[in-house]
């Protein structure tokens, strides 16, 4: 009999965090799980630790990835999974003991393909762990506790990209060929996966409760110390989504929505990119969005007044925006 949830854990040199991560998964109150650890040939002891756990717990399987690509590792896990639902845990994070029991219960009760909860962002500071509750839904509470789908565009415009906080029905993923972009490294390949699960899920459900603990103090994480090269990987991720949309006439005209989401992703990066790279990145935003505007794929109805004013200012003069906004002292 197949497990209820298959959990994919991609890793590469995660020895500092992997024990806490794996123990939180192994000790789930839902014991009927499969754990697929997809390692890209770690050299710091991570792989040996995973193999030791594999020898002790039959629920855990180690898969070796020849390609150092988060997307490729995730796809190896998805293809090998035998569960009814798929879960994802990053190797530097950990989860509450009841996460998969609760998400699976809700998925079955509501008969939905996707269930997502909030996150607890955390840092370790002066020997203490400091948590911040981060809501999946950025600007509204009214979408929590309802069965939704892509007919309500707010599932795109008002929710964050938090794939590990949820579970996904595996038959749904496979029927719709939803996989990750297999670009090299580990930067933003979750963006396309999130977009297409939201787009294609007949039914999805957002839970106003946090089960997933999301580390913010790993300096090697894609959310920290963003270089220009890493920032431009997000551009390639949105290009990947665009190509998939253009190949399928059933998706209709979603280019304007994708342009809005692209700006949201770039705006997020602007707050995290290394200071010296802010101006070249702003110039890249100007270049891309002038082209988007020329193609008629910029629809201001998706933007609130603040977002519109910000993008219009960047389009007009990224140098001015850099000097008067980015260089302005914070606080």
Question: Within 10 Å of residue 96's Cβ, how many Cβ atoms?
Answer: 18
Confidence (pLDDT) at 127:
85
pLDDT score of 9 more than 90: yes
Write down the mean pLDDT value for the chain: 93
Q: Which tens digit of pLDDT belongs to each residue from 50-75?
A: 999 999 999 999 999 999 999 999 99
Measured in residues, the chain has a length of: 331
Report phi then psi at 198, rounded to 5. -70, -40
Question: Rounded distance, CA 267 to CA 270, Å?
Answer: 5
Domain ranges of the chain: 5-215, 228-326
Q: In sequence order, what are the beta bridge partners of 206?
A: 116, 144
Percent of the chain surpassing pLDDT 70? 96
CATH number of the domain at 5-215, please?
Answer: 3.90.550.10
Confidence (pLDDT) at 13:
95
Flag the least confident range among 71-80, 183-192, 244-253: 244-253
Which pTM does this prediction carry? 0.92
Residue in the block written with tokens 């977009």: 195
Q: How far is CA 202 from CA 86, 150, 169, 198, in A?
A: 17, 8, 11, 9
Confidence (pLDDT) at 222:
46
pLDDT score of 181 more than 60: yes
Q: Which residues of 259-278 are buried (b: 16+ CB within 10 A; e: fewer)?
A: bbbbbbbbeebbeebeeebb
pLDDT score of 138 more than 80: no
Spatial neighbors of 209 by CB under 8 A, at least 6 apart, are 102, 117, 118
Confidence (pLDDT) at 275:
87
Confidence (pLDDT) at 330:
60
Q: DSSP readout, 109-140?
A: HHT-SEEEEEEEEEEEETTEEEEEEE-SBSS-
Q: Which of 166, 225, 226, 220 is nearest to 190 (CA)?
A: 166
Q: Which tens digit of pLDDT belongs to each residue from 76-131?
A: 999 999 999 999 999 999 999 999 999 999 999 999 999 999 999 999 888 899 99
Tell which wins on pLDDT, 49 or 223.
49
Question: Rounded distance, CA 208 to CA 134, Å?
Answer: 10
Q: Which tens digit of pLDDT belongs to each residue from 194-235?
A: 999 999 999 999 999 999 999 988 655 545 468 889 889 999
Question: Rounded distance, CA 145 to CA 135, Å?
Answer: 13
E runs forming strands in the chain:
5-11, 33-39, 60-64, 85-88, 94-95, 114-125, 128-134, 147-148, 166-169, 204-215
Largest Cα–Cα separation, the chain: 62
Question: Within 10 Å of residue 12's Cβ, how many Cβ atoms?
Answer: 22
Residue in the block written with tokens 């749904």: 172
Confidence (pLDDT) at 218:
62
Percent of the chain surpassing pLDDT 90? 81
pLDDT score of 248 more than 90: no
Q: Using an 8 Å Cβ cutoff, are 6 and 168 in contact?
A: no
Q: DSSP readout, 267-318?
A: HHHHTTB-GGGHHHHHHHHHHHHHHHHHTT---GGGS-HHHHHHHHHHHH-H
Q: Which tens digit of pLDDT belongs to each residue from 278-305?
A: 999 999 999 999 999 999 999 999 999 9
């Amino acid at each position: 009999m197949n497990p209820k949830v298959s959990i994919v854990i991609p890793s590469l040199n995660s020895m500092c965090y992997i024990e806490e991560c794996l123990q939180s998964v192994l000790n789930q109150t839902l014991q009927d799980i499969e754990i697929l650890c997809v390692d890209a040939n770690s050299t710091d002891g991570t792989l040996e630790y995973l193999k030791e756990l594999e020898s002790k717990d039959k629920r855990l399987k180690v898969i070796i990835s020849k390609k150092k690509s988060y997307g490729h590792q995730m796809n190896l896990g998805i293809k090998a999974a035998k569960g009814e639902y798929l879960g994802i845990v990053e190797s530097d994070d950990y989860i509450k003991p009841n996460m998969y029991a609760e998400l699976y219960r809700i998925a079955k009760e509501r008969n939905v393909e996707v269930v997502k909860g909030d996150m607890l962002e955390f840092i370790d500071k002066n020997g203490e762990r400091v948590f911040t509750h981060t809501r999946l839904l950025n600007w509204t509470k009214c979408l929590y506790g309802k069965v939704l789908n892509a007919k309500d565009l707010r599932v795109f415009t008002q929710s964050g990209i938090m794939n590990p906080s949820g579970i996904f029905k595996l038959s749904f993923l496979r029927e719709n060929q939803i996989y990750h972009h297999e670009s090299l490294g580990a930067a933003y390949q979750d963006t396309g996966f999130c977009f297409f699960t939201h787009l294609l899920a007949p039914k999805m459900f957002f839970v106003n409760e946090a089960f997933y603990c999301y580390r913010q103090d790993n300096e090697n994480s894609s959310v920290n110390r963003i270089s220009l090269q890493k920032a431009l990987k997000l551009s390639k991720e949105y290009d990947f989504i665009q190509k998939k949309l253009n190949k399928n006439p059933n998706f209709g005209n979603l280019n304007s929505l994708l342009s809005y989401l692209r700006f949201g992703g770039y705006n997020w990066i602007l707050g995290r990119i290394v200071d010296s790279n802010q101006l070249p990145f702003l110039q890249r935003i100007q270049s891309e969005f002038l082209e988007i505007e020329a193609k008629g794929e910029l629809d201001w109805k998706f933007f609130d007044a603040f977002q519109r004013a910000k993008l219009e200012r960047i389009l007009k003069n990224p140098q001015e925006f850099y000097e008067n906004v980015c260089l302005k002292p914070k606080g």
